[in-house]
Structures are given as C-alpha cells and as structure tokens.
Amino acid sequence: MRKTMWWLSLSLALAASASVVNAAADQSAADQSAKVTPLMSKDVVAAPGKEITMITVEYMPGSVDPIHTHNAQALIYVLEGEIVMQVKGGPQVTLKPGQTFYEGPEDVHIVGRNASKTKPAKFVVFFVKDKGAPILTPVQ
C-alpha cells in the first residue's frame, strides 16, 4: 500500500511539473508570435475578383513563422531590424531595412523569422490575391 501511495505521489508530482513546463512553453511561443496589423484592402480595378491587401508584420525577438503559403503574390519591404526568408527551392536570405522579398502564388514559405533573438523586426507586405481569401494558409 505504501509503495502504491509513493508511486501515486510521484506520478502526480511529475504531472504537475509537466503542466508547468507546458504552460511555460505555451507562453514562450506566444511571446515569439508575430503581430500583424491590417492597413488597407482595395479591389484591383483591372482584375475583377482580385484585391490588394497591405499589412505590417512585427516579429518579436526570436519570432518564427510556421511553414505556410499565401496563395497570392506577396511583396515584402523591410522597415526595421533584420528578417530571414526562404521559399521552397529558393535560397535563404537575410534582409535589412530597405531590402525586398517576393513570394509567388505557388511558393511555399519554409523560413520566415526574425534574424535577432534580442531586437524586434518590422516589415510591410503587399498582397495581390483573390478577394476575401485568407492571407496565410499553414502547410502541414
């Protein structure tokens, strides 16, 4: 009986520890998320059913994007900090303020992250996409 109680106590302590570790990991992931601010959307006059959407993205230090697609043409312009970008089949590049990056509708964005673990980064993105389509679609 005593042995059973000891194992039960140990199991409960380990479960509590795992819970604390998972909560810390969830908070850490939340701290590393990107802040997306929509700026505007306008119909493309020459292409019915298409729209231009402009957003800013702020990467917190250490921020990392999931692998995703945009199903759009995306033009990126870095405002502050440094970001690392790569689409499947393309080179990985580190971009500084004033530099640009392009993603096509078929590209899979495999690397998107802040180059710094200590400083934020900010960039503006212009999308040409189907009207009402999501800006980002995660890839499994």
Q: Which domain holds residue 38?
A: 32-138
Cα distances (angstroms) measured from residue 92 to each of 49, 86, 104, 128, 130: 33, 5, 16, 23, 27
pLDDT, tens only, 69-114: 999 999 999 999 999 999 999 999 999 999 999 999 999 999 999 9
CATH code, 67:
2.60.120.10
Interval 14-36 mean pLDDT:
48
Do 36 and 26 belong together in one domain? no
* pTM score of the predicted model: 0.76
Q: Are 53 and 34 in contact (CB under 8 A)?
A: no
**Which pair of tokens denotes residue 97?**
């303020």
- Are 70 and 107 contained in the same domain? yes
Does residue 23 sit in the same domain as residue 54? no
Mean pLDDT over residues 28-50, rounded? Answer: 84
